[in-house]
Protein backbone atom coordinates (compact mmCIF):
# COMPACT_ATOMS: atom_id res chain seq x y z
CA UNK A 1 0.00 0.00 0.00
CA UNK A 2 1.19 3.52 -0.81
CA UNK A 3 1.06 6.55 1.46
CA UNK A 4 -0.46 8.86 -1.15
CA UNK A 5 -1.70 8.58 -4.72
CA UNK A 6 -2.34 11.70 -6.77
CA UNK A 7 -4.49 10.89 -9.80
CA UNK A 8 -5.05 12.79 -13.03
CA UNK A 9 -2.65 15.62 -12.24
CA UNK A 10 -1.97 17.95 -15.15
CA UNK A 11 1.73 18.45 -15.88
CA UNK A 12 3.30 21.56 -17.38
CA UNK A 13 3.09 20.03 -20.86
CA UNK A 14 -0.66 19.41 -20.36
CA UNK A 15 -0.38 15.63 -20.13
CA UNK A 16 -2.17 13.85 -17.27
CA UNK A 17 -0.43 11.48 -14.88
CA UNK A 18 -0.84 9.61 -11.62
CA UNK A 19 1.85 9.65 -8.94
CA UNK A 20 2.21 7.18 -6.09
CA UNK A 21 4.29 8.04 -3.02
CA UNK A 22 5.74 5.72 -0.37
CA UNK A 23 8.24 6.37 2.41
CA UNK A 24 9.01 9.87 1.23
CA UNK A 25 9.88 8.78 -2.30
CA UNK A 26 8.08 8.70 -5.62
CA UNK A 27 7.19 5.04 -6.09
CA UNK A 28 5.28 4.97 -9.38
CA UNK A 29 4.31 7.37 -12.16
CA UNK A 30 1.88 7.01 -15.09
CA UNK A 31 -1.63 5.68 -15.53
CA UNK A 32 -1.84 3.63 -12.37
CA UNK A 33 -4.36 0.80 -11.93
CA UNK A 34 -7.64 1.84 -10.32
CA UNK A 35 -7.29 -0.91 -7.72
CA UNK A 36 -3.96 0.46 -6.49
CA UNK A 37 -4.58 1.54 -2.88
CA UNK A 38 -3.11 4.21 -0.63
CA UNK A 39 -3.70 5.73 2.78
CA UNK A 40 -4.81 8.90 1.02
CA UNK A 41 -5.79 9.61 -2.55
CA UNK A 42 -6.44 12.80 -4.50
CA UNK A 43 -8.13 12.91 -7.86
CA UNK A 44 -7.30 16.25 -9.45
CA UNK A 45 -9.42 15.40 -12.51
CA UNK A 46 -7.01 17.34 -14.71
CA UNK A 47 -8.06 20.61 -13.10
CA UNK A 48 -4.85 21.33 -11.22
CA UNK A 49 -1.19 21.33 -12.15
CA UNK A 50 1.59 19.22 -10.67
CA UNK A 51 5.34 19.58 -11.02
CA UNK A 52 8.41 18.43 -9.20
CA UNK A 53 8.88 20.55 -6.08
CA UNK A 54 9.90 24.11 -6.82
CA UNK A 55 13.48 24.95 -5.87
CA UNK A 56 14.41 28.57 -5.18
CA UNK A 57 18.15 28.69 -5.78
CA UNK A 58 18.67 32.15 -4.28
CA UNK A 59 16.95 33.33 -1.10
CA UNK A 60 17.93 34.98 2.17
CA UNK A 61 16.25 33.17 5.04
CA UNK A 62 18.68 33.25 7.96
CA UNK A 63 16.48 34.94 10.59
CA UNK A 64 19.43 36.35 12.55
CA UNK A 65 20.92 38.25 9.61
CA UNK A 66 20.88 41.98 10.40
CA UNK A 67 20.52 42.97 6.73
CA UNK A 68 18.61 40.39 4.67
CA UNK A 69 16.52 37.93 6.67
CA UNK A 70 13.33 35.91 6.62
CA UNK A 71 11.86 32.66 7.91
CA UNK A 72 12.63 29.58 5.77
CA UNK A 73 9.06 28.29 5.75
CA UNK A 74 7.65 31.70 4.85
CA UNK A 75 9.66 31.76 1.63
CA UNK A 76 9.44 27.97 1.29
CA UNK A 77 6.45 25.71 1.80
CA UNK A 78 4.07 28.58 2.61
CA UNK A 79 4.71 29.70 -0.98
CA UNK A 80 4.63 26.25 -2.58
CA UNK A 81 8.44 26.03 -2.64
CA UNK A 82 9.81 22.72 -1.37
CA UNK A 83 13.53 23.61 -1.33
CA UNK A 84 15.35 26.89 -0.79
CA UNK A 85 19.02 27.76 -0.97
CA UNK A 86 20.19 30.62 1.20
CA UNK A 87 22.72 32.48 -0.92
CA UNK A 88 25.50 33.63 1.35
CA UNK A 89 23.67 35.07 4.37
CA UNK A 90 26.01 33.08 6.59
CA UNK A 91 29.73 32.51 6.65
CA UNK A 92 31.82 30.13 8.71
CA UNK A 93 31.14 32.19 11.87
CA UNK A 94 27.39 31.54 11.93
CA UNK A 95 26.72 28.57 9.64
CA UNK A 96 26.39 26.25 12.68
CA UNK A 97 23.53 28.28 14.12
CA UNK A 98 21.80 28.43 10.74
CA UNK A 99 22.14 24.68 10.28
CA UNK A 100 20.62 23.98 13.69
CA UNK A 101 17.69 26.29 12.98
CA UNK A 102 16.89 24.58 9.68
CA UNK A 103 16.56 21.14 11.26
CA UNK A 104 13.08 22.08 12.47
CA UNK A 105 11.73 23.56 9.22
CA UNK A 106 9.27 21.87 6.89
CA UNK A 107 11.10 23.29 3.88
CA UNK A 108 14.28 21.65 2.62
CA UNK A 109 16.95 24.28 3.35
CA UNK A 110 20.44 24.37 1.83
CA UNK A 111 23.15 27.01 1.89
CA UNK A 112 25.72 28.68 -0.28
CA UNK A 113 28.40 29.57 2.25
CA UNK A 114 29.64 33.13 2.01
CA UNK A 115 33.41 33.10 1.48
CA UNK A 116 33.59 35.84 4.12
CA UNK A 117 33.51 34.36 7.60
CA UNK A 118 31.06 37.07 8.74
CA UNK A 119 28.45 36.40 6.05
CA UNK A 120 26.05 39.31 5.61
CA UNK A 121 26.84 40.89 8.95
CA UNK A 122 27.48 44.04 6.97
CA UNK A 123 27.13 45.08 3.33
CA UNK A 124 30.87 45.13 2.58
CA UNK A 125 31.73 41.67 3.83
CA UNK A 126 34.57 41.26 1.30
CA UNK A 127 36.23 44.63 1.91
CA UNK A 128 38.62 43.10 4.46
CA UNK A 129 40.56 40.24 2.88
CA UNK A 130 41.43 38.86 6.33
CA UNK A 131 37.77 37.83 6.67
CA UNK A 132 38.28 35.25 3.91
CA UNK A 133 39.65 32.29 5.81
CA UNK A 134 40.19 29.25 3.59
CA UNK A 135 40.50 26.82 6.47
CA UNK A 136 37.38 28.18 8.12
CA UNK A 137 35.44 27.66 4.89
CA UNK A 138 36.82 24.15 4.47
CA UNK A 139 35.93 23.20 8.03
CA UNK A 140 32.38 24.53 7.67
CA UNK A 141 31.87 22.61 4.43
CA UNK A 142 33.13 19.41 6.04
CA UNK A 143 30.93 19.87 9.14
CA UNK A 144 27.82 20.44 7.06
CA UNK A 145 28.22 18.27 4.01
CA UNK A 146 24.86 18.03 2.26
CA UNK A 147 23.68 21.30 3.80
CA UNK A 148 26.39 23.57 2.45
CA UNK A 149 26.09 22.80 -1.26
CA UNK A 150 28.16 25.66 -2.67
CA UNK A 151 29.95 28.93 -2.00
CA UNK A 152 28.94 32.53 -2.66
CA UNK A 153 30.95 35.60 -3.62
CA UNK A 154 29.26 38.98 -4.00
CA UNK A 155 31.31 40.88 -6.57
CA UNK A 156 30.13 44.47 -6.57
CA UNK A 157 31.91 47.66 -5.58
CA UNK A 158 29.92 48.20 -2.38
CA UNK A 159 30.89 44.71 -1.20
CA UNK A 160 34.54 44.33 -2.19
CA UNK A 161 35.67 47.92 -1.55
CA UNK A 162 39.21 48.43 -2.81
CA UNK A 163 39.83 44.71 -3.33
CA UNK A 164 38.46 44.50 -6.86
CA UNK A 165 38.63 41.00 -8.33
CA UNK A 166 40.81 39.54 -5.53
CA UNK A 167 37.96 37.95 -3.54
CA UNK A 168 36.79 36.05 -6.62
CA UNK A 169 40.32 34.75 -7.26
CA UNK A 170 40.29 33.40 -3.70
CA UNK A 171 36.79 32.01 -4.19
CA UNK A 172 37.98 29.98 -7.17
CA UNK A 173 40.89 28.64 -5.09
CA UNK A 174 38.48 27.70 -2.30
CA UNK A 175 36.25 25.97 -4.84
CA UNK A 176 39.13 23.93 -6.25
CA UNK A 177 40.14 22.87 -2.73
CA UNK A 178 36.58 21.77 -1.82
CA UNK A 179 35.31 19.21 -4.34
CA UNK A 180 34.61 21.88 -6.98
CA UNK A 181 31.38 22.84 -5.22
CA UNK A 182 29.12 25.18 -7.20
CA UNK A 183 30.14 28.84 -6.99
CA UNK A 184 27.45 31.52 -7.20
CA UNK A 185 28.70 34.98 -8.09
CA UNK A 186 26.62 38.10 -7.45
CA UNK A 187 27.11 40.71 -10.17
CA UNK A 188 26.31 44.31 -9.26
CA UNK A 189 27.87 47.73 -9.66
CA UNK A 190 31.45 47.83 -10.90
CA UNK A 191 34.32 47.65 -10.21
CA UNK A 192 35.12 44.83 -10.65
CA UNK A 193 33.94 44.81 -14.23
CA UNK A 194 31.77 41.93 -15.43
CA UNK A 195 34.38 41.08 -18.07
CA UNK A 196 36.95 40.42 -15.33
CA UNK A 197 34.44 38.33 -13.43
CA UNK A 198 33.18 36.28 -16.38
CA UNK A 199 36.69 35.42 -17.58
CA UNK A 200 37.43 33.71 -14.24
CA UNK A 201 34.33 31.54 -14.22
CA UNK A 202 34.27 27.89 -15.28
CA UNK A 203 31.73 25.14 -15.98
CA UNK A 204 28.95 25.00 -13.42
CA UNK A 205 29.62 28.43 -11.91
CA UNK A 206 26.49 30.55 -11.58
CA UNK A 207 26.09 34.23 -12.47
CA UNK A 208 23.19 35.50 -10.38
CA UNK A 209 21.33 38.77 -11.07
CA UNK A 210 21.88 37.93 -14.73
CA UNK A 211 19.24 40.41 -15.96
CA UNK A 212 20.17 43.32 -13.73
CA UNK A 213 19.74 46.79 -15.24
CA UNK A 214 22.98 48.27 -13.94
CA UNK A 215 25.84 49.39 -16.22
CA UNK A 216 27.67 46.18 -15.26
CA UNK A 217 25.09 44.08 -17.14
CA UNK A 218 25.46 41.12 -19.51
CA UNK A 219 24.51 43.25 -22.53
CA UNK A 220 26.58 45.93 -24.23
CA UNK A 221 25.14 49.44 -24.71
CA UNK A 222 24.30 48.30 -28.25
CA UNK A 223 22.15 45.48 -26.85
CA UNK A 224 24.44 42.63 -27.82
CA UNK A 225 25.83 40.01 -25.47
CA UNK A 226 29.20 40.85 -23.98
CA UNK A 227 31.92 38.72 -25.53
CA UNK A 228 33.21 37.74 -22.08
CA UNK A 229 29.79 36.41 -21.13
CA UNK A 230 29.46 34.62 -24.45
CA UNK A 231 32.78 32.86 -23.80
CA UNK A 232 31.68 31.99 -20.25
CA UNK A 233 28.40 30.47 -21.45
CA UNK A 234 30.30 28.35 -23.97
CA UNK A 235 32.40 27.05 -21.05
CA UNK A 236 29.21 25.98 -19.23
CA UNK A 237 28.66 28.94 -16.90
CA UNK A 238 24.99 29.23 -15.87
CA UNK A 239 22.65 32.23 -15.70
CA UNK A 240 20.43 32.65 -12.61
CA UNK A 241 17.76 35.35 -12.31
CA UNK A 242 18.15 36.35 -8.63
CA UNK A 243 15.41 39.01 -8.99
CA UNK A 244 15.78 40.83 -5.69
CA UNK A 245 15.06 44.44 -4.81
CA UNK A 246 17.54 45.96 -7.26
CA UNK A 247 18.66 43.27 -9.70
CA UNK A 248 16.01 42.56 -12.34
CA UNK A 249 15.15 44.65 -15.39
CA UNK A 250 12.31 43.77 -17.75
CA UNK A 251 14.13 45.59 -20.53
CA UNK A 252 17.40 43.69 -20.09
CA UNK A 253 15.56 40.38 -19.73
CA UNK A 254 13.46 41.08 -22.83
CA UNK A 255 16.51 41.93 -24.92
CA UNK A 256 18.52 38.97 -23.62
CA UNK A 257 15.73 36.45 -24.16
CA UNK A 258 15.21 37.82 -27.68
CA UNK A 259 18.87 36.91 -28.25
CA UNK A 260 18.14 33.37 -27.02
CA UNK A 261 19.65 33.93 -23.57
CA UNK A 262 17.10 32.17 -21.42
CA UNK A 263 17.87 31.73 -17.72
CA UNK A 264 19.07 28.36 -16.54
CA UNK A 265 17.42 28.94 -13.18
CA UNK A 266 14.72 31.36 -12.01
CA UNK A 267 15.23 32.47 -8.41
CA UNK A 268 13.77 35.20 -6.25
CA UNK A 269 16.52 36.65 -4.02
CA UNK A 270 13.66 37.04 -1.58
CA UNK A 271 13.81 38.33 1.98
CA UNK A 272 11.21 39.86 4.28
CA UNK A 273 11.15 43.38 2.85
CA UNK A 274 10.93 42.57 -0.84
CA UNK A 275 8.52 39.76 -0.03
CA UNK A 276 6.07 42.04 1.75
CA UNK A 277 6.59 45.31 -0.14
CA UNK A 278 7.69 43.93 -3.49
CA UNK A 279 8.80 43.80 -6.15
CA UNK A 280 9.52 40.11 -5.48
CA UNK A 281 6.58 38.90 -3.32
CA UNK A 282 7.23 35.19 -4.00
CA UNK A 283 8.99 32.78 -6.31
CA UNK A 284 5.64 32.18 -8.04
CA UNK A 285 5.35 35.90 -8.80
CA UNK A 286 8.87 36.00 -10.22
CA UNK A 287 8.15 32.91 -12.34
CA UNK A 288 4.94 34.52 -13.63
CA UNK A 289 6.87 37.54 -14.91
CA UNK A 290 8.60 35.33 -17.44
CA UNK A 291 5.34 34.61 -19.24
CA UNK A 292 5.34 38.30 -20.22
CA UNK A 293 8.82 37.74 -21.67
CA UNK A 294 7.70 34.93 -23.95
CA UNK A 295 8.68 31.86 -21.97
CA UNK A 296 6.30 28.90 -21.89
CA UNK A 297 4.98 27.14 -18.81
CA UNK A 298 7.23 24.08 -19.37
CA UNK A 299 10.28 26.35 -19.74
CA UNK A 300 9.46 28.29 -16.56
CA UNK A 301 8.78 25.16 -14.52
CA UNK A 302 11.98 23.55 -15.76
CA UNK A 303 13.97 26.51 -14.40
CA UNK A 304 12.81 25.81 -10.83
CA UNK A 305 12.85 22.01 -10.98
CA UNK A 306 15.17 19.95 -13.19
CA UNK A 307 17.52 22.80 -14.11
CA UNK A 308 17.78 23.99 -10.53
CA UNK A 309 18.42 20.50 -9.18
CA UNK A 310 21.12 19.97 -11.80
CA UNK A 311 22.87 23.29 -11.09
CA UNK A 312 22.78 22.65 -7.34
CA UNK A 313 23.67 18.96 -7.68
CA UNK A 314 20.57 17.86 -5.79
CA UNK A 315 20.50 14.50 -7.45
CA UNK A 316 17.29 13.17 -5.89
CA UNK A 317 15.19 16.25 -6.61
CA UNK A 318 13.73 18.11 -9.55
CA UNK A 319 11.97 15.34 -11.46
CA UNK A 320 8.80 13.28 -11.14
CA UNK A 321 10.35 9.86 -11.52
CA UNK A 322 10.38 6.70 -9.39
CA UNK A 323 13.15 6.84 -6.81
CA UNK A 324 13.24 10.64 -6.61
CA UNK A 325 12.27 12.49 -3.43
CA UNK A 326 8.51 12.95 -3.11
CA UNK A 327 8.85 16.74 -3.32
CA UNK A 328 6.04 18.16 -5.44
CA UNK A 329 4.29 21.46 -6.02
CA UNK A 330 0.59 21.61 -6.84
CA UNK A 331 -0.52 24.83 -8.48
CA UNK A 332 -2.87 26.48 -10.92
CA UNK A 333 -2.38 29.04 -13.66
CA UNK A 334 -4.92 31.81 -13.23
CA UNK A 335 -5.91 33.78 -16.30
CA UNK A 336 -6.63 37.48 -16.10
CA UNK A 337 -4.98 40.89 -16.34
CA UNK A 338 -1.87 41.23 -14.20
CA UNK A 339 0.60 44.06 -13.69
CA UNK A 340 4.13 43.05 -12.69
CA UNK A 341 6.96 45.30 -11.49
CA UNK A 342 10.69 44.88 -11.96
CA UNK A 343 13.49 46.27 -9.80
CA UNK A 344 13.85 49.39 -11.94
CA UNK A 345 10.39 50.78 -11.26
CA UNK A 346 9.11 49.58 -14.63
CA UNK A 347 5.95 47.54 -15.09
CA UNK A 348 4.74 44.93 -17.55
CA UNK A 349 1.25 43.71 -18.25
CA UNK A 350 0.56 39.99 -18.16
CA UNK A 351 -2.33 37.58 -18.45
CA UNK A 352 -1.16 34.62 -16.34
CA UNK A 353 -0.35 34.17 -12.67
CA UNK A 354 1.04 31.04 -11.06
CA UNK A 355 -0.75 30.26 -7.80
CA UNK A 356 0.75 27.49 -5.61
CA UNK A 357 -1.84 25.43 -3.73
CA UNK A 358 0.30 22.90 -1.89
CA UNK A 359 3.85 21.80 -1.30
CA UNK A 360 4.53 18.11 -0.82
CA UNK A 361 7.82 17.50 1.00
CA UNK A 362 8.99 13.91 1.34
CA UNK A 363 5.34 12.91 0.95
CA UNK A 364 3.97 15.31 3.59
CA UNK A 365 1.25 17.58 2.24
CA UNK A 366 1.46 21.25 3.23
CA UNK A 367 -1.30 23.49 1.92
CA UNK A 368 -0.65 27.13 1.11
CA UNK A 369 -3.18 29.75 2.15
CA UNK A 370 -4.56 29.66 -1.41
CA UNK A 371 -4.86 25.89 -1.22
CA UNK A 372 -6.75 26.07 2.05
CA UNK A 373 -9.09 28.74 0.71
CA UNK A 374 -9.80 26.75 -2.44
CA UNK A 375 -10.92 23.67 -0.47
CA UNK A 376 -9.46 21.56 -3.27
CA UNK A 377 -7.95 18.86 -1.12
CA UNK A 378 -9.64 16.81 1.55
CA UNK A 379 -6.94 16.36 4.17
Work out the number of other CB atoms within 10 angstroms of the CB of residue 273.
13
- For residue 372, say whether it is annotated as part of any ligand binding site: no
Question: Over the chain, what HEC string results?
Answer: CEEEEEEEEECCCCCEEEEEEECCEEEEEECCCCCCCEEEEEECCCCCEEEECEEEEEECCCCCCCCCCCCHHHHCHHHCEEEEEEECCCCCCCHHHHHHHHCCCCCEEEEEEECCCCHHHCCCCCCCHHHCCHHHHHHHHHHCECCEEEEEEEECHHHHHHHCCHHHHHHHHHHHCCCCCCEEEEECCCCCCHHHHHHHCCCCCEEECCCCCCCCCCECCCCCECHHHHHHHHCCCEEECCCCCCCCCHHHHHHHHHCCCCCCECCCCECHHHHHCCCCCCHHHHHHHCCCCCCCHHHHHHHCCHHHHHHHCCCCCCCCCCCCECCEEEEEEEEEEEEEECCCCCEEEEEEEEEEEEEEECCEEEECHHHHHHCCCCC
Q: Is 58 annotated as a binding residue?
A: yes
281 assigned to a ligand binding site: no
269 is in an annotated binding site: yes
Confirm whether residue 144 is marked as ligand binding.
no
**Is 186 labelled as part of a ligand binding site?**
yes
Binding residue positions for Zn(2+):
58, 60, 152, 186, 209, 269
Amino acid sequence: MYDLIIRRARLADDTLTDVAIADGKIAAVGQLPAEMSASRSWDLAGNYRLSAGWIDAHVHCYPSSPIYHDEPDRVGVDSGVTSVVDAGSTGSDDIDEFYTLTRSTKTNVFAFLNISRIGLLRQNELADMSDINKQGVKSAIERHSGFVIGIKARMSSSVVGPNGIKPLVLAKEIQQENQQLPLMVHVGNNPPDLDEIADLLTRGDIITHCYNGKPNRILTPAGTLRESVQRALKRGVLLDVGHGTASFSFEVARQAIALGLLPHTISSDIYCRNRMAGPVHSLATVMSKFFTLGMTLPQVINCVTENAASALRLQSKGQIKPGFDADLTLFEVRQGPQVFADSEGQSAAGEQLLVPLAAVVAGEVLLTDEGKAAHVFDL
